[in-house]
Each structure stands twice: as C-alpha cells, then as structure tokens.
Amino acid sequence: MKNTKHLLLLAVLACSLIPLQAQKFQGLAQTPPMGWNSWNKFACDVSEKLIRETADAMVSSGMKDAGYEYVVIDDCWQVSRDSLGFIVADPQRFPSGIKALADYVHSKGLKFGIYSCAGDKTCGGRPAGRGHEYQDALMYAKWGVDYLKYDWCNTEKLNAEGAYTTMRDALHEAGRPIVFSLCEWGDNKPWKWAKEVGHLWRTTGDIYNCFDCINDHGTWKSWGVMQILDKQDGLRQYAGPGHWNDPDMMQVGNGMPLNEERAHFTMWCMMASPLISGNDLRKMSPETLGVLANKEVIAIDQDSLGIQGFRHAVKDSVETWMKPLKNGEWALCLLNRSKSPKSVELNWKTISVTDTLSNRTLDTTGKELYKIRDLWLKKNTGDTRKPLKAIIPGQDVLCLKIFK
C-alpha cells in the first residue's frame, strides 16, 4: 500500500511539473492519426469548395465510420500577412475564411487541419511561420484548428529541434490542443528528439506515386512505397502512443494497380503509421474505398498496444512482417516484392518469435492452438494445426491475424 501511495504521489508531482497548457496536448494521438491531406492529389489547387466537398465525401463514403477524422488542407491556402503580421488566407479561394471552413468540417463530426512551414516561405512559396510562430498559433486556435502539419522548406541556418520546439511552445501557449505533425523529412533524425516536441514526425523525403521506384529531381529525390518502407529500418523503438514515425501520406487511389494499393496500405498499417489518405475522396473507385476502409486491416494500425511492426524474415522476394497486438494477438503479413506470383508455405510447428521491444512472444510450436484470419478475405481460414500454403500475386500481400 505504501508503494502504491508513493507511485500516486510521484504521478501527481510529475503532472504538476508539466505546464497546464502542455498538459492539454499529452493525450493526443494515442493511436496513429487518420485522415486526409490535399497535397498528393491537388498540390496548390486548393479551395474551400474542395475541402467542404472532401469532408462531405469522408462522411458519405464510410471513411469516417472506418476511423478517418482529420481533413487537412496543405500548402497554398495563405497569400500574405496583414499590417500586424497575422497570416491571411487567399480571399479568392477561401472567401468565407478559415474559421468558417473549420466550423463546417466540425459540423460533420470531423477535425480540421492546416499547413505551415518553419522557414521564411513554404515549399509552395507562400508566407511561412519563421518569426511569427506565436501569432500563427493564436490564429490557429482562434480558427479551431485541430492538426498542424509543419514543413521544412527555406530553413537556412535554422536548427530543426529548436525551430520545431518554438512552434510547439507557441501551440501550447495558444491553449488549443492541436496534433503537431513535424514534416522535417528525417534530415535531422527527429525520431531521437521529436517525442517531446510533436505527435508524429516524417522519417523520409516525399512519397512518390509508384510502388517501387525513385523520382530524381536533381537536387532531391522522392521515393516509391518500397523505398520508403526500407527507410524505416531501425526506427520502431522510437514510436508508440502519442508519438509516431510518419513514412508520409498514402498514395492509395492515385493510380497504382489494386494489388499495389493493397500492399501499400497494409504495410503502412503494419508499421503503425499515420493513415493520411491523399486521393480525391469525391471520386474514389469501389476498389480504392475497399482498401482504405478495410476496418480489419485498420485495426492492426490502430491497435492500442502501439507497437510498430518489424521485418522478421526474407525468402525469395517474400518478406515476413510481424506486429504484436493487444490481448496476445499478432498480425503477420507476407509481402511479395516481386512482380511475379510466389508460392509460400508457413509451417506453424517451427514458428517461435519473441519481440524484445514489446516483450511479446508468438509460439505456435507447441500444443496451444491459434486461429488464423485473412484480413483481406475477411474470414477465418483455419488454425495452426496445419501448415499454411498460398500463392501471393506479384507486388501484393497476404495479411493474417493470429489469435486464440
């Protein structure tokens, strides 16, 4: 009893050391944020009409019911600063103003997100946050913003940790709880310091709408899905409830074949990544919606244990990924990176895996029986008494949940 009292006292003291404003931010993003961002599909072609219609589509399509909640407008909504230095939205594209737009998104039971940048100008050449952090945070709070994506263009001579900490402090001071997304591209290893600054941080440069390729722009590169996946090696120990590695927004629905979309989405879920769609929600095909709104695969991403998955084995272009889940369950994903179909066989009598990060073990070698559920077929497909045999199409996945 004495030890319990001491622990409670320590917890109270710890909370008392955190400024009151900062305490409002402590419980945010306990699972990876889910939502939509305008950049991948629309770049600078944004407007209040697009955002309103996207909010409508998020609800009517079933995306909201599947867990998506943030509607985030990316770059190019802003055009100038007023005589006092406050940020001004484009009056042509946003004639009703950002506050009215946020109110509309909120009226749909959703949350509203916005974009800025730590440098002098945004990546799109618009006014950015440098030197105006506290003014901008006050305006975001006044408008009712719930999520801020903060980029890293035009940041010469800035220290990344210092710049993002300044914006964090400004958000805290403004007082409205806002999920803070650091889009620093991984250049300064944010996974080592950003847990105390924001709720998610980009681990790589920008994603490219391609499954397995690199787009070389000369002075910088954007990356295909598989390239970004490989760049997550060694980062899983930094992620958890309230602080997530972010491998960038998804390209599902922007032109990849269905098998590649399914693999892309599955691997983001296995990595406990933020699920931020980047397609036109108003014009989704049933197939794309079926990928983005698969609640059983989403549950892998949103599992409250908050453990990022890991690559367990590789054989003949097929990677075995594993992710411990709550209640002793596991997700197991077989990713075929080849363009050709691959035959696979899992002999459950030989599988005993311990994840030292979560201190969880999956052992199917003994008498204890586990059931197997295919999360894309959405049905149970047997148990661990017999080996699993399957053919995985090229650049596709087999995603299973293993449970008692």
CATH number at residue 375: 2.60.40.1180
Find the Cα–Cα–Cα–Cα dihedral 168, 173, 176, 182, rounded to 10°.
-10
CA separation for the pair 335, 31 (Å, rounded)? 24
CA separation for the pair 362, 351 (Å, rounded)? 8
334 and 257 part of one domain:
no
Residues 6+ apart with CB under 8 A from 53: 282
Name the nearest CA neighbour of 159 among 134, 206, 193. Answer: 193
241 and 345 part of one domain:
no
Q: Which of 10-19, 107-116, 270-279, 331-340 has the lowest mean pLDDT?
A: 10-19
| 21 inside domain | no
Cβ proximity of 307 and 324 under 8 Å = yes
297 and 333 part of one domain:
no
Write down which residue in 301, 333, 359 finishes a domain: 301
Q: Which residues of 352-387 are buried (b: 16+ CB within 10 A; e: fewer)?
A: ebebeebebebebeeeeebebbbbbeeeeeebbeee
Name the nearest CA neighbour of 128 among 137, 139, 114, 116. Answer: 116
pTM for this one? 0.94
| 50 inside domain | yes
53 and 181 part of one domain:
yes
| 86 inside domain | yes
| 3 inside domain | no
| 19 inside domain | no
330 and 218 part of one domain:
no
Quick check: 4 pLDDT over 90?
A: no
211 and 272 part of one domain:
yes
Q: Which residues of 65-83 are buried (b: 16+ CB within 10 A; e: fewer)?
A: ebbbbbbbbbbbbbeeeee
| 353 inside domain | yes
Q: What pLDDT shows up at residue 24?
A: 82
154 and 56 part of one domain:
yes
pLDDT digits (tens, 9 = 90+) for 230-269: 999 999 999 999 999 999 999 999 999 999 999 999 999 9
Q: What pLDDT shows up at residue 26?
A: 85
60 and 159 part of one domain:
yes
Write down which residue in 255, 275, 301 finishes a domain: 301
272 and 134 part of one domain:
yes
Average pLDDT of the segment spanning 317-345 = 98
Find the Cα–Cα–Cα–Cα dihedral 402, 327, 233, 266, rounded to 10°.
50
Pairing of strands 310-315, 200-202: unpaired
Write down which residue in 244, 275, 301 finishes a domain: 301
pLDDT digits (tens, 9 = 90+) for 276-323: 999 999 999 999 999 999 999 999 999 999 999 999 999 999 999 999
| 22 inside domain | no
What is the 3-state secondary structure of the chain? Answer: CHHHHHHHHHHHHHHHHCCHHHHCCCCCCCCCCEEEECHHHHCCCCCHHHHHHHHHHHHHCCHHHHCCCEEECCCCCEEEECCCCCEEECCCCCCCCHHHHHHHHHHCCCEEEEEEECCCECCCCCECCCCCHHHHHHHHHHHCCCEEEEECCCCCCCCHHHHHHHHHHHHHHHCCCCEEEECCCCCCCHHHCHHHCCCEEECCCCECCCCCCEEECCCCEEECHHHHHHCCCCCHHHCECCEEEECCCCCCCCCCCHHHHHHHHHHHHHCCCCEEECCCHHHCCHHHHHHHCCHHHHHHHCCCCCCCCEEEEEECCEEEEEEECHHHCEEEEEEECCCCCEEEEECHHHCEEEECCCCEEEECCCCCCCEEEECCCCEEEEECCCCEEEEECCCEEEEEEEEC
Residues involved in catalysis: 151, 206
Cβ proximity of 244 and 358 under 8 Å = no
338 and 280 part of one domain:
no
* Tokens describing residue 134: 């506290």
Cβ proximity of 276 and 249 under 8 Å = yes
Cβ proximity of 167 and 200 under 8 Å = no
Average pLDDT of the segment spanning 173-192 = 97
Tell me the residue type at 28: L
Q: Determine how many CB atoms are found less than 10 A away from the CB of residue 28.
A: 16
Average pLDDT of the segment spanning 150-162 = 97
CA separation for the pair 243, 272 (Å, rounded)? 11
Q: What pLDDT shows up at residue 25?
A: 85
178 and 276 part of one domain:
yes
Cβ proximity of 62 and 213 under 8 Å = no
Q: What is the mean pLDDT of the chain?
A: 95
Average pLDDT of the segment spanning 184-207 = 97
* Tokens describing residue 150: 């903060």
Question: Which CATH number does the domain housing residue 246 bear?
Answer: 3.20.20.70
CA separation for the pair 305, 49 (Å, rounded)? 38
191 and 260 part of one domain:
yes
Cβ proximity of 281 and 58 under 8 Å = yes
Average pLDDT of the segment spanning 126-142 = 98
Q: What pLDDT shows up at residue 19?
A: 65
pLDDT digits (tens, 9 = 90+) for 72-93: 999 999 999 999 999 999 999 9
Q: What pLDDT shows up at residue 18?
A: 55
**Domain count across the chain:** 2
HSE-CB at 131 with a 13 A cutoff on CA atoms is: 9
Residue-range definition of the domain harbouring residue 268: 27-301
